[in-house]
Structure 1
């Protein structure tokens, strides 16, 4: 019986595949492949501990977590009848500046995560504490751009602080809705170093998890406070520190985090004091996006 062209092609590909296989059998991939796992330094052994052995049961912490979730669920249900952030709707519409983050006590620092290049073997140090009178946040430390001697890492020298992902009751994700605003309003006091402001939004695909919207924050130093207003249209898209060719505006209704990164390759001490991070609606700013948008398949 004569074979059809499709069956002939399948038979040919199967024969070519069998010639590439080793004589003792087919190649088998490992069962513990993790493409999106945590960072592991070069030379560090892999942790093969089964997941069930890492679980630590604590009845007291479980009851405390349930109480916190029920309290959060109560605020979600009854907060709709009061208004946004517990204020009346009239007051919410008339306000010009909405303070999203402020530092007025030790519990406000628990919503932030500090990291540096020590996670990859670097020598930079970063710390977070309350300022004077417990009314501001002070990020300080030492920057060191010497890369670790692991034979693979070529660049180092960064420190960053980032807000935590907001959660609803029972660990559900929550997003900040900034669709009523168009500008970020900061009140900071730095030491003259340039910082990078990072805004993270909710992404649909997993390979976009490292995408961030960035813009520069230039501090002038000195003892005086500095009010900075940055429109959303000025933020550009980057992934793992590389500016992307395909730019698009921020999804202001699905914001997850905001952060500050220092990486100016100037070794030495640094400090950045933050009073509040707010949002405002600048009526005079009408720009939608400051960067050119490219069409992959332009119309003929």
Structure 2
């Protein structure tokens, strides 16, 4: 009877030993989980603000009398929109709309004019800045004032702080449809303001095409002189640059003037202390001397070969 090869027996024993050790180690080794990459951009949550665990339908206030008032209000707006279409764009005759060179969009002439505006500051994330909005003298102007503080909150997450902002509310048509401003006939933003020498940022939000562009804002600088005198500021729309959540974008494109949603003013110059900005009116105009289409470089997405 032939004797088995010693080398073969050694190899079999080595493999069986490795197999037994492998079986003993398998239960103790946990499976590696690779996090799935998020395809859609989630809702932005400010640092220090807790997450909301409520479902969307839990925020609805079911009130029968309030619902009847809302139906009456929306049908009144729908009737107004229907008859304005027969007159012309935005209820104006067509000839007047074509020859119009100046238009006042917002003016502050009473307490009801402040209902379309909202103010906010870093106090929402635990900061110490304060901002208030009220009517000026003789109820003919809007006065934005408060105190700026750049001290960050002690939440262990926020590193920078110090901002105050004023923003117009989204205009709504009947049945809570978005109502856009059409400024395509104009090329310049016209402001009559009186500040305290601080630099402000003018922000214009337009309707976006994709959902991830909802935080896109066009911004430009507003330098106030200070003192008792008013200043008329004209900023061409071609000067506004695209930003996303405070960051200037590399890919720039012009502002869509036919789908303007809101306008706002932001102060964040890191100078602690009191501030104030008085606004008489906000309008648009057509400057024939300004022929620039866009002030910044446009990248070709599909360059010619």
Q: Given the two structures, how large is their TM-score scaled by the length of structure 2?
A: 0.83
Over 3 Å counting, the alpha-carbon distance change for 1:79 and 1:151 in structure 2 is same
Q: In 2 relative to 1, CA 106–152 (structure 1 residues): closer, same or farther, beyond 3 Å?
A: same
CA shift digits 1:120-167 (9 cap, x unpaired): 111111111111111111111111111111111111100111111111
Residue 184 of structure 2 corresponds to residue 179 of structure 1:
yes
From 103, 113, 125, the equivalent of 2:108 is 103
Equivalence map 1:20-35=2 (5 Å): none
Residue 74 (structure 1) shift: 1.2
Query: Are positions 1:289 and 2:287 aligned together?
Result: no
Matching of residue 247 in structure 1 with residue 252 in structure 2: yes
Q: 2:101, 2:186 within 8 Å by CA — same for their partners in 1?
A: no
**Mapped partners of 2:87, 2:224: distance in 1:** 39
* Residue 159 of structure 1: aligned partner: 164
Is residue 60 from structure 1 mapped to residue 65 from structure 2 by the alignment? yes
Instruction: Give distance in 1, aligned partners of 2:35 and 2:45.
Output: 25
Alignment of 1:249-288 (within 5 A): 249-288=254-293
Q: How does 1:178-217 map to 2 (within 5 A)?
A: 178-217=183-222
Cα distance change, pair 27–194 in 1 and its aligned pair in 2 (3 A):
closer
Partners of 2:115 and 2:213 lie apart in 1 by 27
Q: Which runs of 4+ in 1 moved over 6 A?
A: 26-29
Determine which of 238, 244, 248 is the counterpart of 2:243. 238
Could you say which residue in structure 2 is the equivalent of 1:146?
151
Select which of 114, 118, 123 maps to 1:113: 118
User: Aligned equivalents of 2:171 and 2:57: distance in 1?
Assistant: 27
Q: Distance in 2 between matches of 1:256 and 1:128?
A: 21
Unmatched 5+ stretches in structure 1: 1-18
Deviations 1:155-190 (CA, angstroms, capped at 9, x unpaired): 110011111111110011111111100000000011
CA distance change for structure 1 residues 57 and 268 in 2, over 3 Å: closer, same or farther? same
Question: Counterpart of 1:66 in 2: which secondary structure?
Answer: helix
For residues 288 and 34 of structure 2, the distance between their equivalents in structure 1, rounded to whole angstroms, comes to 63
Q: Number of paired residues?
A: 275
Task: Give ranges in structure 2 of 5+ residues lacking alignment.
Answer: 1-26
